């Protein structure tokens, strides 16, 4: 297990040090398990780079971007605010090039303006208007702003091949053989990089349960949120590292 994790960290280090004019990295951070693991491994990679090459090598900026839809479950909202504050504080304390950002939908795209003011129906599986207006558009605008400022941007995503057959097909469709980066399907001058695409669900939970959070947060809180939630998508640990840990049930967020 540790060798696979070290391999991913080495891959992240190599990509970070790529000679590409330090195109900024953007990590879409939902606070869920996959985005938390992505940030954990990136953080460890940055610490390793500084240890090996010094602070001068940490020239690329990393933006940790969370999208607040303004209609989240209060438990999730409180958790995200607490985590984001801790990430920012720890990045400053450890002198890492990590910047925390929160995006929100424009007023005219907000849930209550769309639902009550414009008469949109309650979102459902066939008409999920909220996903585009509340989540995609605000984050896309942040990415486009960075592209305008820097010329290009690289988005790190927490998608994994084993999530579902549909997700695996999507990843395979866009990837370029022998290349880490792929062109973003929607945003110009933007690339995507999925550093944990080969991890299994059990490995994700192994990292969260056994690797200390580099920003000093207690990942047991994240585990408990999954344990207390229910959903149709099975996104919980199927193998626990020791028998004292409970199964988290069927849950997903982010």
Confidence (pLDDT) at 2: 77
Span 195-219, mean pLDDT?
Answer: 93
Span 187-216, mean pLDDT?
Answer: 92
Confidence (pLDDT) at 16: 97
Confidence (pLDDT) at 115: 46
pLDDT digits (tens, 9 = 90+) for 92-103: 999 999 999 988
Span 197-207, mean pLDDT?
Answer: 92
Confidence (pLDDT) at 235: 44
Confidence (pLDDT) at 243: 39
The answer to whether the CB of 57 falls within 8 A of the CB of 50 is yes
User: Which residue is associated with the tokens 């460890």?
Assistant: 44
Confidence (pLDDT) at 161: 83
pLDDT at 105 over 60: yes
Confidence (pLDDT) at 177: 44
pLDDT-based confidence at residue 89 (cuts at 50, 70, 90): very high
Phi-psi region of 70 (alpha: psi -120 to 50; beta: other; left: phi over 0): left
pLDDT digits (tens, 9 = 90+) for 107-122: 555 554 554 555 556 6
Sequence-distant (6+) residues with CB within 8 A of 115 are 122
What the chain holds in terms of domains, given with CATH numbers, is: 2-217 (3.40.50.620)
User: What are the structure tokens assigned to 167, written together?
Assistant: 């997700």
Phi-psi region of 241 (alpha: psi -120 to 50; beta: other; left: phi over 0): alpha
The answer to whether the CB of 155 falls within 8 A of the CB of 193 is yes
Lowest mean pLDDT of 57-61, 78-82, 106-110, 248-252, name the range: 248-252
To 10 degrees, the CA torsion angle through 99, 100, 106, 109?
120
Confidence (pLDDT) at 142: 78
pLDDT at 11 over 60: yes
Phi-psi region of 129 (alpha: psi -120 to 50; beta: other; left: phi over 0): alpha
The answer to whether the CB of 56 falls within 8 A of the CB of 185 is no
pLDDT digits (tens, 9 = 90+) for 163-173: 655 544 554 54
């Amino acid at each position: 297990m540790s060798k696979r994790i070290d391999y991913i960290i080495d891959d992240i280090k190599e990509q970070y040090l790529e000679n590409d004019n330090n195109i900024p990295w953007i990590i879409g951070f939902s606070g869920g398990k996959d985005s938390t693991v992505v940030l954990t491994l990136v953080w460890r990679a940055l610490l390793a780079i500084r240890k090996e090459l010094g602070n001068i090598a940490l020239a690329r900026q990393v933006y940790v971007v969370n999208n607040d839809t303004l209609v989240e479950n209060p438990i999730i909202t409180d958790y995200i605010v607490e985590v984001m504050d801790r990430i920012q504080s720890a990045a400053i304390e450890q002198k890492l090039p990590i910047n925390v950002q929160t995006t929100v939908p424009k007023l005219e795209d907000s849930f209550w303006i769309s639902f009550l003011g414009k008469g949109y129906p309650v979102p459902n599986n066939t008409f999920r208007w909220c996903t585009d207006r509340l989540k995609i558009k605000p984050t896309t605008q942040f990415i486009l702003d960075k592209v305008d400022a820097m010329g290009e941007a690289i988005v790190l995503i927490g998608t994994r091949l084993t999530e579902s057959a549909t997700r695996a097909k999507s990843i395979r469709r866009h990837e370029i053989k022998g290349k880490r980066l792929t062109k973003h399907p929607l945003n110009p001058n933007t690339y995507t990089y999925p550093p944990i695409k080969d991890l299994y669900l059990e490995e994700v939970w192994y990292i969260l349960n056994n690797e200390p959070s580099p920003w000093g947060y207690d990942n047991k809180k994240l585990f408990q949120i999954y344990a207390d939630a229910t959903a149709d998508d099975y996104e919980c640990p199927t193998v626990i590292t020791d028998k004292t840990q409970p199964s988290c049930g069927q849950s997903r967020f982010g």
